[in-house]
Structure 1
Amino acid sequence: MMQTDPTPPSAAPASRLRHTLTPSLVGLIAIGGVIGAGLFIGSAASLRAAGPMVLPLYVLAGLLMMAQMRMLAEMAIADPQAGSFIGQTRAALGLRAGFVAGWAYVLFWGATAGSEIIAAGPLFAQLTGAPDWYGAVGVLVLTGANNLVSARAYARTEATLSLVKLAAIAGFVLIGLVAAATGAPGGPRAGRLAAEGWAPEGWFAALAILPILIQTLTGFEIATVAAVESIDPVRAVRAASRSLVLRVGLFHVVGLAMVLAIVPRTQIVVGQSPFATALARLHIGAAAQILTAVVLVAVASCLNSALYAASRVLFELAGTADAPAAFGRLDRSGVPVGAVACAVGLAVAVALLGLVSPQAGYVIALSLAATLIIVTYILAGLAQIRRRTSGGRVVPGMAMWGFPLLSWLTIAAFAAVLLSLLATASGRLDLGLGALALLVLWRLSGRHRTT
C-alpha cells in the first residue's frame, strides 16, 4: 500500500520563497533549460543518423512533451502552493517515491550542468585561444554568482540569454529564406531535404534517435518549478503549458529543416555545429565565430537554468527532511544559498570527469541524465493519475486531455523510449548507469525513512 505524505500540499516549504517572478520571466527561464548545445551541436548526430526523418520525429517528441507538460500543469495549477511537481509526486505516490523523484531530478540537472561546463571549455578556447579550463571555470563562476544574487536577478539574466538564442535561430532561418529568394549560391533547396529518402540509414536507425530528441526537449517543466517564485503562478504555468512546447518545438523543426535544405546530410560532421556548416556554405563572413559565440551563450544559459532548477528542488527536499536542513535556509535576498552551493558542487563533480577524459565525462553525464529524467517524468505522470482518481481538485480548462487514456499513453510512451535504449550499445550504457543511480536512491530512501 502506498504511503501518503502527512504534510498537506498547502504547507509545502517551497511557499517560503519570495514571489518576484513575472509569468513572462518564468516562460523564458523554461526556454533557457531547453535550447542549448544539444540543438546547436548535438543535432549533427541526429541529422546524420536520421536525415529528414528527424523533423517528424521532433514533432512526435514535442507532442509527447506537450502531454507531459499538461499533466504537470494540471497539478501545479490545482494547488500552486504545493511546491514543484516533486511535491505532488510525494503526496500522491508516497514518501519514498518523492525522495527518488526529487533526487533523480536534482542529479539530472547536476549531470546536465556538468556536461555544459565540459562543453564550455573548447568553445571558449575556439573564440579566444585561451586554455579550455578558463572558459569552463569562467562560465561556472558567472552562472553560480548569478544564482546567488536573487531569483529575479537570475531570471532577468536568463531571459536575456534565452532571447539571444531565439534570435539566433530566427536570424538563421531568415538568412536562409533571403538566400533562397535571391538565388544565392549554396542557398537552400527543397530538393535537398529528402534527396536520399526520408530515412537514408534505415528506419531503425531513425527511430533509435528518439530518446536523444526527448532529452533535447527536456526543461519545460522548469516552469512549474519556477512558478513557486512567481507573482502569479497560475498564469505562469497556464501560459507555459499552452504554448511553450509548441513554440520552441517549432524553432527546432524549422531551424533543422533549413539546415537540411542547405547542407546535404552526408556533409554534416558529428561534433560540429550543422548551423555553422550551413552558414559557411552561404559564405557568411565569420560564420564559425558567430555560431561559436551563440553556442557559448546557449551553454551558459542552460547551465544557469540547471543550477536554478537543481537548487530549488534541493530547497524543497530540505523542507521535507529529504535533504540536509542547510539546503532549506534562505539568505536576506530569499536565495537558498546552501542549495545553490550543492548544485554547483554536483556540476563540478561531473565536470571533473572531463579533466581525465573530456569525451568520456561528457558521455557519462548525458548517459546518466537520460534515464533519470524519463523516470522522473513517469513518476510525475503516475502521480497525476493517482491524484485525479483520488478526487483531487482540477481547475476547469486545465485538466489533462483525454484523461485517463492519454495520461496512460504518455507514460507508456516514455517507458517505450526507455526500453528502446536497449537497442544500441550507447543506449544500454544510458540505461545501465541510470538504473544503478535509481537503485541507489531507492535503497537510500528506505534507509532514510527508517532512521
Structure 2
Amino acid sequence: MSDSKGDSNLPKRGLQNRHVQLIAIGGTIGTGLFMGAGNSIHYAGPSILLVYLVIGMFMFVVMRAIGELLYADPSQHTFITFITKFLGNRAGFFARWSYWLTVVFMGMAELTAVAKYIQFWLPSLPSWLIQIVMLILLTCVNLIAVALYGETEFWFAMIKIVAILALIVTGIIMAVTGFKTPVGTVAFSNVWNHFEFFPNGVGNFINAFQMVMFAFVGMEFIGMTTAETENPRSVLPKAINQIPWRILFFYLGALFIIMTIYPWQKIPANQSPFVMVFELAGVKWAAALINFVVLTSAASALNSVLFSASRNFYALSFQSKAKFLQPFRKISKTQLPINAVLLTSVMVAFSALISVIPSITNAFSFVTSASTDLFLMIYVLILMAYMKYRKSDSYMPDGFLVIAPKTLVPLAILFFSFVFVTLFFNPESRLPAIGATIWMVVFGYISMRQPKQALNK
C-alpha cells in the first residue's frame, strides 16, 4: 500500500535544510528538560546521566528505523503508513487512529501549558481566552505555507538552544573561576562527590526511566519534518545522524552543568533547576527568562502537533471508505491539507472548554497521561514494521540503513516494553498505564474487526 497519490495531490514540500536542522535540534529538547530535570535528578542523582544516555540510544534506534523507511519510500508524509504496509491493515488501523488521537491529546496538554505560562505575566487573563488566541495564531501558521511553519519552528528551536548554551557556558565559567554560591562552591567535582549509583534506591532509579522517556516523546516529528523537504533523501541522514550528538550535548551537557553548579544532593524536586542555576549566577529575572523559554517550547510542541496530526489525518482519509473522511483529502491552493489542519485545531480547542469546567480537569489529566503512554506502543509497532520491511521486497540494501538492526531493534522493543511495565509500579503513573492498557484492549478489539486488506487507492 502506498500513499502516493500524484505530486499534484500531495502536501507541498516547502522546508529548507536550515529549517530541518534547527527543528531537528529543537525537537530533541523537550519542555521536560527545563521543568522536570530537577525531579529526575532527585530520583536518580548523577545516575540520571546514564538514564538519559540509554533512552537516547534507543530513541536513536527508532529514529534510524523511521529514517530508513522514509528513505526507501520518500513519497510518504508520515511513518505511520509503514505500519499498515508491513503489519497489515488491522495493526495500521490501531496505529493511525491511536497515534492521531494521542498527538491531539498531547496538543491539548501543550495548549493548556501555554496558557499557564502566559498567566505568569498576565494572571488576570482567563485561560480559555489565551488558549483560543494562541490556537488561532498557530493554526494560521499551519494554513499559510509549510515554509512559514518551518520559519516559526526555526525560531522556537533557536530560543531553546540559546537558553541551554547560555546555561552551559555560564556553568563552565563559574566552575573554572571557583564561583561561590549560597549552596557551595561551583566545581565539576560536585557531580561525583559522594557519588551513589542508587542514592534513593533501585526503585526510584527505575522510575526515572519513565519520567525521562516522556521528555523524548515527539522526537519522531523530525522524520515527518524531513519528509516535507524538497529532497528528503539528502536531508534525512544528516538530520537523524546528528541526534546522538545533540542528546549528548544538550541533555547530558545541561544536566552535568546543573549538577556542577548546584550539588545534586540539594536540588529540590519541585523546582526548575534552570531557574535556580540562573538565579545563583545573579540573573534576578531568571524565573521570567525560563518561563519565556518553556512558553516557546510548549508553543513549539503545539505547532508541531498541528503539523504532524494534520498530516496523519490526511493520510488516514485515504485509508478508509468512510464518507465522513473524504473531505479531509482536500489540498489548499498552497498545497496544504487544509481540512485536516482545521479538524485537528478544532479537536485541540476542546482544552479551552475543559479549562472552564474544573470537574473534568482531573479526567483530562488522566486521559492525557494515558495517551502519552501509548507512544510506547506506537514505537514498538514501528520497530516491528521495520523488521517486516527488512524481509520484504521493498527493502533497499543500499539505503539509509539502521546500525546492527538484528541486535538493536529487538533490544529497543524489549526496552520500550520494559518502560511500559514499570508504569504499573509507580503510584503516580499506575492509573494512566491502566487507562492506556484499556485503550489498547478495546481499540485493539475494534481494530481486529477491520478488513485484513487496506483500501486500494
Same fold, judged at TM 0.5 (above): yes
Q: Which residue does 1:148 correspond to in 2?
A: 143
Distance 1:205 1:9, change over 3 A: same
Distance 1:326 1:248, change over 3 A: farther
Deviation at 1:340, TM superposition (A): 1.4
Hey, what's the Cα distance between the residues in 1 that align with 2:354 and 2:275?
28
Deviation at 1:41, TM superposition (A): 0.7
Deviation at 1:351, TM superposition (A): 5.5
Distance 1:353 1:50, change over 3 A: farther
Distance 1:357 1:293, change over 3 A: farther
Q: How does 1:381-396 map to 2 (within 5 A)?
A: 381-396=383-398
Q: Which residue does 1:418 correspond to in 2?
A: 420
| Residue type at the aligned position of 1:364 | F
- 8 Å CA contact 1:12–1:82 kept in 2: the answer is no
Deviation at 1:285, TM superposition (A): 2.4
Q: Which residue does 1:4 correspond to in 2?
A: none
Q: How does 1:49-60 map to 2 (within 5 A)?
A: 49-60=43-54
> Could you tell me which of 187, 190, 199 is aligned with 2:188?
190
Deviation at 1:57, TM superposition (A): 0.6
Deviates more, 1:351-360 or 1:338-347: 351-360
Q: How does 1:146-185 map to 2 (within 5 A)?
A: 146-185=141-180
Deviates more, 1:282-291 or 1:179-188: 179-188
Q: How does 1:54-73 map to 2 (within 5 A)?
A: 54-73=48-67
Secondary structure of 1:167's partner?
helix
Hey, what's the Cα distance between the residues in 2 that align with 1:40 and 1:32?
13
Hey, what's the Cα distance between the residues in 1 that align with 2:439 and 2:24?
26
Q: Which residue does 1:18 correspond to in 2?
A: 12
| Residue type at the aligned position of 1:372 | L
1:82 and 2:76 aligned: yes
Hey, what's the Cα distance between the residues in 2 that align with 1:23 and 1:224?
13
Q: CA RMSD in A?
A: 2.5
Q: Percent identity?
A: 26
Secondary structure of 2:403's partner?
coil
Distance 1:126 1:8, change over 3 A: closer
| Residue type at the aligned position of 2:335 | G
- 8 Å CA contact 1:9–1:81 kept in 2: the answer is yes
Hey, what's the Cα distance between the residues in 1 that align with 2:361 and 2:33?
18
Deviation at 1:302, TM superposition (A): 1.1
Distance 1:369 1:180, change over 3 A: same
Q: Normalised by the size of structure 2, how large is the TM-score?
A: 0.90
Q: How does 1:82-121 map to 2 (within 5 A)?
A: 82-121=76-115
Hey, what's the Cα distance between the residues in 2 that align with 1:265 and 1:13?
54
Q: Which residue does 1:293 correspond to in 2?
A: 292
Hey, what's the Cα distance between the residues in 2 that align with 1:434 and 1:14?
39
Deviates more, 1:165-174 or 1:125-134: 125-134
Structure 2: 5+ residue runs without aligned partners? none
Q: Which string of whole-angstrom CA distances, capped at 9 and with x for unpartnered residues, describes residues 131-154 of structure 1?
A: 351543333232222112111111
Distance 1:48 1:438, change over 3 A: same
Hey, what's the Cα distance between the residues in 2 that align with 1:353 and 1:14?
39
Q: Normalised by the size of structure 1, how large is the TM-score?
A: 0.91
- 8 Å CA contact 2:25–2:246 kept in 1: the answer is no
Distance 1:62 1:199, change over 3 A: same
Deviates more, 1:77-86 or 1:150-159: 77-86
1:28 and 2:22 aligned: yes
Structure 1: 5+ residue runs without aligned partners? 1-6
Secondary structure of 1:333's partner?
coil
Secondary structure of 1:127's partner?
coil
- 8 Å CA contact 1:50–1:199 kept in 2: the answer is yes
Q: Which residue does 1:402 correspond to in 2?
A: 404
Secondary structure of 1:301's partner?
helix
Secondary structure of 1:277's partner?
helix
- 8 Å CA contact 2:3–2:76 kept in 1: the answer is yes
Secondary structure of 2:225's partner?
helix
Q: Which residue does 1:337 correspond to in 2?
A: 338
- 8 Å CA contact 1:351–1:361 kept in 2: the answer is no
Distance 1:418 1:143, change over 3 A: same
| Number of matched pairs | 445
Hey, what's the Cα distance between the residues in 2 that align with 1:30 and 1:71?
16
Hey, what's the Cα distance between the residues in 2 that align with 1:361 and 1:43?
26
Q: Which string of whole-angstrom CA distances, capped at 9 and with x for unpartnered residues, describes residues 229-258 of structure 1?
A: 210111222112211243145301111121
Secondary structure of 2:405's partner?
coil
| Residue type at the aligned position of 2:328 | F
Distance 1:76 1:14, change over 3 A: farther
